[in-house]
């Protein structure tokens, strides 16, 4: 049976703390054997749509959506969802468009947003999966907690590098049976296996650098100056 290596969490320059071009993500994926990649910018699907135009077979259109508590990951999305909505409304909007729903780094307390444990437990029955390995966590503990929580709730786990720069892409992914749409992706998640290693803490400083560069007027090269091969 054919299997895919699937990276389920990465960002482009459409996220405020990244300078990465969609072309760079795709080049690294080809080099590192990542068969499918979800582009999940903060509160935007613009980067995912750019990447999908370049390599529609490889790219899953996604978004990392900031709710009034933690962040939710949507995959196979058709419409962008704005930040700042209650988690329950975000989940419903994702369901309405047939998206696959996960939660990113649910137990990482170093992020700027945190889940209320009661809210997260209440959401679990309506989630398709839970991110159980995020390569940007500072320690293994948040990932271990997420894996235990997913297992207790009978939910499959997803994994991603949370890449904001090319060197991070593919540091965490899942291996799973081949799929071609949201329905077959959900079915294949049941047998997925996590492969991953945490990134060096320096990557967080690189994100701060991206924020500073953008505050000083950085803008991406024009599309004609960004070859993809």
| Average confidence score pLDDT of the chain | 96
Biggest distance spanned by C-alpha atoms of the chain? 50
Average pLDDT rounded to a whole number, residues 213-225: 89
Question: H/E element holding 186?
Answer: helix 182-189
- In-domain check, residue 223: no
- In-domain check, residue 225: no
- In-domain check, residue 18: yes
Distance from C-alpha of 22 to C-alpha of 128, rounded to nearest angstrom? 26
Q: Strand 130-134 and strand 157-160: pairing? A: parallel
Residue 33 tokens, joined: 């054997």
Render 99-137 in DSSP notation, one character per residue: -EEEESSTT-TTSS----HHHHHHHGGG-S-EEEEETT-
- In-domain check, residue 227: no
Model pTM score: 0.95
Average pLDDT rounded to a whole number, residues 55-84: 97
- In-domain check, residue 229: no
- In-domain check, residue 146: yes
Q: How does DSSP classify residue 175?
A: E
Average pLDDT rounded to a whole number, residues 8-32: 97
pLDDT tens track for 73-89: 999 999 999 999 999 99
Q: Estimate the share of the chain in helix, then strand, then coil, as percent rounded to the nearest 5.
A: 35, 25, 40
pLDDT tens track for 161-218: 999 999 999 999 999 999 999 999 999 999 999 999 999 988 999 999 999 999 999 9
- In-domain check, residue 71: yes
- In-domain check, residue 202: yes
Sheet holding 172-177, edge to edge: 100-103, 71-75, 59-66, 36-39, 3-10, 172-177, 193-196
Q: Looking at residue 110, which CATH number applies to its domain?
A: 3.20.20.140
CA atoms within 13 A on the CB side of 113: 20
pLDDT value at position 68? 96
pLDDT tens track for 86-111: 999 999 999 999 999 999 999 998 88
pLDDT value at position 229? 61
Boundaries of domain holding 176: 3-218
Number of domains into which the chain is organized: 1
**Comparing C-alpha atoms, which of 12, 1, 2, 70 is closest to residue 38?**
12
């Amino acid at each position: 049976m054919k299997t895919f290596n699937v990276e389920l969490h990465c960002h482009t320059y459409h996220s405020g703390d990244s300078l990465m071009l969609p072309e760079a993500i795709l080049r690294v994926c080809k080099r590192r054997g990542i068969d499918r990649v979800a582009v999940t910018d903060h509160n935007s699907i613009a980067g995912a749509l750019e990447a999908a135009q370049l390599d529609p077979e490889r790219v899953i259109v996604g978004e990392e959506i900031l709710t009034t508590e933690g962040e939710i990951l949507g995959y196979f999305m058709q419409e962008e969802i704005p930040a700042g909505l209650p988690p329950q409304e975000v989940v419903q909007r994702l369901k309405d468009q047939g998206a696959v729903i996960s939660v990113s780094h649910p137990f990482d307390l170093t992020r700027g947003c945190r889940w209320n444990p009661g809210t997260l437990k209440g959401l679990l029955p309506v989630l398709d999966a839970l991110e159980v390995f995020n390569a940007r966590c500072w320690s293994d503990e948040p990932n271990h907690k997420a894996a235990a929580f997913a297992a207790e709730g009978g939910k499959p786990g997803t994994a991603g590098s949370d890449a904001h720069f090319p060197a991070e892409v593919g540091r965490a992914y899942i291996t799973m049976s081949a799929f071609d749409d949201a329905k077959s992706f959900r079915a294949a998640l049941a047998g997925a296996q996590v492969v991953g290693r945490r990134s060096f803490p320096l990557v967080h400083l690189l994100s701060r650098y991206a924020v500073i560069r953008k505050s000083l007027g950085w803008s991406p090269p024009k599309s004609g100056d960004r070859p993809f091969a």
